[in-house]
Amino acid sequence: MSLAASLDELSLNNSFAALPPDFYTRLEPQGLTAPRLLHANEDAAALLGLDPRALGSEAFLRVFAGLDPLPGGATLAAVYSGHQFGVWAGQLGDGRAHLLGEVRGPQGNWELQLKGAGLTPYSRMGDGRAVLRSSVREYLASEAMHGLGIPTTRALALVVSDDPVIRETVETAAIVTRMAPSFVRFGSFEHWASRRQPELLRQLADYVIDNYYPACRTAGEGAAPYLSLLREVIGRTARLMAQWQHVGFCHGVMNTDNMSILGLTLDYGPYGFMDAFRLDHVCNHSDNQGRYAWNRQPSVALWNLYRLGGALNVLIGDVDAVKAELEAFEPQFTTAFHDGMAAKLGIGSWRVDDEALLDGLLKLMHDQRADFTLTFRHLSDALLGQTQPFLDLYMDRDAAAAWLQQWSARQDDLGGDREARALAMNRINPLYVLRNHLAENAIRAAKQGDTSVLVELLRILRNPFDVHAGAEIYASLPPDWASDLEVSCSS
């Protein structure tokens, strides 16, 4: 298949825009003044079937700066509702996002959405803008998560401007173009259920099933496809939560309007990959109650799924059946979490007594604030007899050595080729993650117009399991100044 040489050669579908106008408001973005393309993602462009040479064109810049429509697109902002920090917030919606259109790519369809392109009817008290700082963070995070193999939205382009935006200080504006097969959220369903408009709720559910979960149609007649839809979303969400926990990722704002109906990591605001491990680590400086702490993410996901289940029960009409599906979340999450942790620890299939081994490690890491990523990565070194890198992460080396002895005994039970097992561990335990200070370095350089730090960081994060020559700084413990970095809902 030949690649499109320009945006106007792309094939568009615009399926969400074909829904009734109840679901969105059609409007044009408010483009940036004198925009500059900070970076364009060739990997994401390939998903659209777009030739990389098109990324440097003036037409590309104008579309993704919000100045021109996507050729063949149908620009809109979607409406939804949701629970924020556990409290019903009522109507929300795309307050600073504009869906440009849906492109038929070589291997599937992708919606293109501008984040930071101006006011919409759903902006509430916001200004509809995004700043360079948060835009760089989202751009990097979506590609970092993809490199880790975790379902996520993708990033196509990052456009900046000198337009002032007021946050805690005066910053400059930016627009990040993000991509996903769909941006429908749990809150999209809550919206119509709360408004007691079952026919619009049904229309949305049918749209999602027909476009993204067609196998649910084979579940039977009547309410069966909607119950099947809930079952599929529960499974995807359970697996996603396990994957987040495996890499020490904290979302920061797991509101129902930030939960993808496709099980994607959606809406990168105050996220963080843990450095020093804490079971109750909170990455969002605005989360004063610790609602979205690392160890609470699975239970919050289940809470959010109960809100989705309640909305879909308007169509299902069987509370017991809905509860039965929701009760499957915990065993699905637990199985996915244990399977992944067994792989990270290099212990083969999970056994019941491995719970004590894992709990012992997590307690050790928590008590001594050991680095999450390097702890697991250096286990492969320990497997081959090189225990120093692992032990060096701990102040109480005796306690670390005692746990390592328990783990080594478990390894002895397996026998086999330790070198092959170490290689397998390194394929699941990343050496590099998007640490806050690395993102901050890219932001500081980008503010000066220097994209070299961002480009190099992207190169490494796209292959986070492989050792990159000369990239030791990206796999090092964070510098002292990193402890002062804070991210909040304004990020």
pLDDT per residue over 141-190, tens digit each? 999 999 999 999 999 999 999 999 999 899 999 999 999 999 999 999 99
Choice among 51, 68, 94, 257 that is catalytic: 257
pLDDT-derived band at 481 (thresholds 50, 70, 90) equals confident
Backbone phi, psi, residue 362, to 5° = -65, -40
pTM as predicted? 0.97
**CA gap 28, 68 in Å, rounded:** 9
Q: What is the DSSP string of 80-134?
A: -EEEETTEEEEE---SSEEEEEEEEETTEEEEEEEESB---TT-TTS-SBEEHHH
The whole-number pLDDT of residue 483 equals: 79
By CB atoms closer than 10 A (0-12, 13-18, 19+), residue 262 is: buried
pLDDT-derived band at 2 (thresholds 50, 70, 90) equals confident
Q: Percent of the chain beyond pLDDT 90?
A: 96
Provide the 3-class DSSP secondary structure of residue 264: coil
Specify whether the CB–CB gap between 379 and 346 falls below 8 A.
yes
What is the DSSP pairing of strand 81-84 with strand 87-91?
A: antiparallel
**CA gap 131, 87 in Å, rounded:** 27
> Average pLDDT, stretch 70-96?
98
pLDDT per residue over 306-343, tens digit each? 999 999 999 999 999 999 999 999 999 999 999 999 99
In the predicted model, is pLDDT for residue 488 greater than 80? no
Structure tokens at 285: 């400086």
The whole-number pLDDT of residue 166 equals: 95
Establish how many alpha carbons lie within 13 A of residue 360's alpha carbon, considering only the half-sphere containing its beta carbon. Answer: 15
* DSSP structure class, residue 366: H
φ/ψ region of 423 (left if φ > 0, alpha if ψ in -120 to 50, else beta) reads alpha
480 is catalytic: no
In the predicted model, is pLDDT for residue 254 greater than 70? yes
* Bridge partners of residue 91, in order along the sequence: 81
**More confidently predicted of 118 and 2:** 118
CA distances from 110 to 104, 156, 269 (A): 7, 11, 22
